Structure 1
Amino acid sequence: MRTNAQSALQRWGMWCATHARWVVLGWGVVLTAAALLLPRFAESLSGSSIAVSGSESARTEQLLEQEFDRGVTEDAIIVIASERLTMRDSEFQRAISEAAQAADDDPGVTSISDPWDAPSGEQVSEDGRTAQVLVGLTGDERERQELAPRLQTALDAVQVDDVTASLTGSSALNAAVVEQQDSDIARAESIGLPIALVVLLVAFGTLVAAGLPLLLGVLTLVTAFGALGALSFVTSFDVFVQAVVTMLGLALGIDYCLFVVTRFREELARVGPSNIPEAVGRTLATAGNAVLFSGSTVLISVSGLFLVQAPVFRSMSLGVMVAVAIMLALSTTLLPALLGVLGRRIDSLKVPGLARSRAPVDIEKSWWARWTRAVLRRPVVIGGATGAALILAAVPALGLKLGFDVGADAVSESPAGAG
């Protein structure tokens, strides 16, 4: 069975190498469509939901939506604050009135309670420098998240000198977290990708070979986010899906492509540059087979998150599964085609001092072979020491405290976080 599978992969790899133009053209169409759907995915992101499907709270919310016209609203707070003025000053009072009016003008706000409506000054701080205007928001989770920035913009337009008006609450924090995460991911990629390129240059010694895994990782992200954008027409995605897909998409894309490229260079050295399709086929039958097995294992493992009765975990599971499936498709179609096009040019643009020989290595004389023999000579001692170290490292997990972080600390500089 294994021989047949590898033979099929070898024939498929040779076909991709000899029909590289059509494979690249097909993926070009897919990538164009994915790029067009990218904005749709970004718009579908919502803040983390703490709802649990089938729980008493979920059934209660559903009952309220069925029995009452207005449904369940979210309670948000407009925080009016000043370092100089207090509740006794007319400018502070005017700021409260204008903030309440600005909120009341938005159709997404269903109720307002200003400090004068509350008994015994419950919505005013002891020093009188901070006051609260309670607002009730309507609509589903995505609508409320879209409402929060719009309402904050309206509050910014009516602020009085020395007085700030900040909207805070679940939807406001979620909107701020989404915006902050976009900035953080861009910053992380600007740091991580150059570091990955340096590591790959050390591993391969040529710019072309080092750049191919990075290219595959980026293409995996673009295609995955495009596919998730298409799925967003029927479902929304948690804000953390973007971070998880970015992390795993780049990591697995680079990692699996590294295996394939390394094997291709070895096979090219064996069969010679005159038989490139054969080298690609042998590569896909060996390293490609390992990539398919590993990726399939990841897909099966991640699918277990669908058993968790919480939308946030199911959303992340779907996002990761889409990214891994696309990465496998790229690794077994576009990557063999690109290797067929490049051929011996995979070793172009050598980096002085880092270029490595493509000649087959005597495995028995390699460092890893010597290390393996050393371990096998004392398996009990080395296995026991390693097991003890792992147990010691796991001890702090006994004191692990679980909870739900709404991300307020990450957006402390935003109006929602400050409020």
Structure 2
Amino acid sequence: MRRRLSATLLAIIGLGVPVVVAFMTRRPADDRAEIAPRPDTSAPSPSGPVPGPAPSGGIRILEPHPTGVFAAIGRFDYRFRRVLPVLGLALVIGLNIWAARGGGKLIQGGWFIPGSQEQQEVSLVADRFGQQPTTMLVVYRDPDGNAGSDEFQAKIKASLADVLKDPVASGLTTYADTHSPQLLSRDRTEALAVVNLTKPVEDSVEDAGRLASEVHPPQGVPTQITGIPQVYKEFNAKIEHDLVQAETISLPIALIILLAVFGTLVAAGLPLLMAGLALPTTFAVISILANVTEMSVFVTNLASMIGLALAIDYSLFMVSRFREELRHHSVEIAIERMMGSVGRAVAISGVAVAVGLSSLIVFEASALRSMGYAGVITVVSTLVFGLTVLPAMLAMLGPRVN
């Protein structure tokens, strides 16, 4: 949730700056699909009459519009250039609000293949010995080697009193209850307490932090908390930290490279703007999709890498081509010509990437299948914003993109 909100904020800031620049520096000049040829200032022919002054303002000549589907999309983008960025931002915010209120949870598992030998063995163990409950494990250390004493075991139970009051906890097993050697180390310096939980592993991850805070270690007794829910929670936190760190490092580097390529901050910021719109949209759709199918936690890494790369790559081509076309054509024609050439190439490239990633969907393991879904969603989100919002932004900026 925090990642989605931060990414949405990035999109708002990134989208707002070029819009403000465009409106603050807007000129009343007409930027329709017309060109005004320069008046003829060449020397008159010795045998001919002296030409009179050129008409004030010159003669406006209509430029021919490019033809084709993507050129038509460019005309649409130009016509609604002030509406499309607002709709794009509204889409991002709306999807993230929906995901925050009704999004599903990403799972750690999903590597079992239904009907495989591994799955059959797991089912056999559950049938023979019963379904093993989800547990939180607490390890207590007594350097004196008296971890099995009644006094030390009493301290263990006292430290877990608040945990047992939690509705998620269903019971406690200690060495004092069973005298099982599995709950005591051989040198009797460590004792293990097992807290049974009522929820499955995936549902217990969100409770792991609260349960850990309810453990009150005895004074002077080193205590460690583990268990599958705790491990998954730490794993999720590590993934989120690594993603934030990766973007913190990669985005400034990407901005420096784009500045070197374009030479202006506005042009360099547009590719990052596309990433700021496509990524939170992708994360929101993935969260919503998690309600109907299993989605692995690893899809966030995949979506982040692919989304950032495609957004920068596609925007780089489109902005560069627009600047080239703008040297010889009006803003409207430049948008249409850009979409008719680079826009079409970007769309074909995106479809090819999506088809390649969709091959993961045929795998039976839900973790791999979810990566295929995430990859296709990422490509589609990038294409939608790249073929609508980006041309609209370029149309509003016009020559100010330079």
Alignment partner of 1:313 out of 360, 368, 373: 368
Residues 71, 89 of structure 1: alpha-carbon distance in 2 compared, 3 angstrom cutoff: closer
Q: Is the 8 A contact 2:104 2:289 kept in 1?
A: no
Q: Could you list the per-position Cα deviations for residues 161-185 of structure 1 after superposition, in whole angstroms to 9, with x for gaps in the alignment?
A: 1224433222211111112222222
Distance, in Å, in 1 between the alignment partners of 2:99 and 2:285 is 8
Q: 2:394 aligns to what?
A: 339
The amino acid across from 2:204 in the alignment is R
- Is 2:192 the partner of 1:132? yes
Q: Is the 8 A contact 1:81 1:163 kept in 2?
A: yes
Residues 163, 236 of structure 1: alpha-carbon distance in 2 compared, 3 angstrom cutoff: farther
Q: Is the 8 A contact 1:100 1:133 kept in 2?
A: no
Secondary structure of the structure 2 residue equivalent to 1:122 = helix
- Is 2:233 the partner of 1:172? no
Alignment partner of 1:31 out of 72, 76, 92: 92
Distance, in Å, in 2 between the alignment partners of 1:226 and 1:107 is 31
Q: Is the 8 A contact 1:110 1:137 kept in 2?
A: yes
Q: Could you list the per-position Cα deviations for residues 183-228 of structure 1 after superposition, in whole angstroms to 9, with x for gaps in the alignment?
A: 2222222221111100101111110110000111111111111222
Distance, in Å, in 1 between the alignment partners of 2:235 and 2:280 is 22
Secondary structure of the structure 1 residue equivalent to 2:138 = strand
Q: 1:13 aligns to what?
A: 74
The aligned length equals 336
Residues 47, 86 of structure 1: alpha-carbon distance in 2 compared, 3 angstrom cutoff: farther
Q: Is the 8 A contact 1:221 1:249 kept in 2?
A: yes
Residues 47, 91 of structure 1: alpha-carbon distance in 2 compared, 3 angstrom cutoff: farther
Alignment partner of 1:267 out of 315, 319, 325: 325
1:331-410 aligned at under 5 Å gives the runs: 331-347=386-402
Identify the structure with the greater helix proportion: 1
Larger radius of gyration: 2
Q: Could you list the per-position Cα deviations for residues 333-392 of structure 1 after superposition, in whole angstroms to 9, with x for gaps in the alignment?
A: 111111111111111xxxxxxxxxxxxxxxxxxxxxxxxxxxxxxxxxxxxxxxxxxxxx
The amino acid across from 2:166 in the alignment is D
Residues 119, 72 of structure 1: alpha-carbon distance in 2 compared, 3 angstrom cutoff: closer
Shift of 1:84: 6.5
Distance, in Å, in 2 between the alignment partners of 1:330 and 1:109 is 47
Superposed CA RMSD in Å reads: 2.9
User: Unpaired segments of 5 or more residues in structure 2?
Assistant: 1-65
1:187-266 aligned at under 5 Å gives the runs: 187-266=245-324
Q: Is the 8 A contact 1:33 1:226 kept in 2?
A: no
Residues 44, 180 of structure 1: alpha-carbon distance in 2 compared, 3 angstrom cutoff: same
Distance, in Å, in 2 between the alignment partners of 1:111 and 1:88 is 20
Shift of 1:21: 1.6
Q: Indicate the percent of aligned positions where both proteins have the same amino acid.
A: 31
Distance, in Å, in 1 between the alignment partners of 2:326 and 2:213 is 60
Distance, in Å, in 2 between the alignment partners of 1:40 and 1:167 is 31
The amino acid across from 1:98 in the alignment is A
Normalising to structure 2: TM-score of the pair? 0.75
Q: 1:186 aligns to what?
A: 244
Residues 41, 218 of structure 1: alpha-carbon distance in 2 compared, 3 angstrom cutoff: farther
Shift of 1:315: 1.9
User: Unpaired segments of 5 or more residues in structure 1?
Assistant: 348-419
Distance, in Å, in 1 between the alignment partners of 2:234 and 2:104 is 14
Residues 122, 96 of structure 1: alpha-carbon distance in 2 compared, 3 angstrom cutoff: same
Q: Is the 8 A contact 1:148 1:167 kept in 2?
A: no
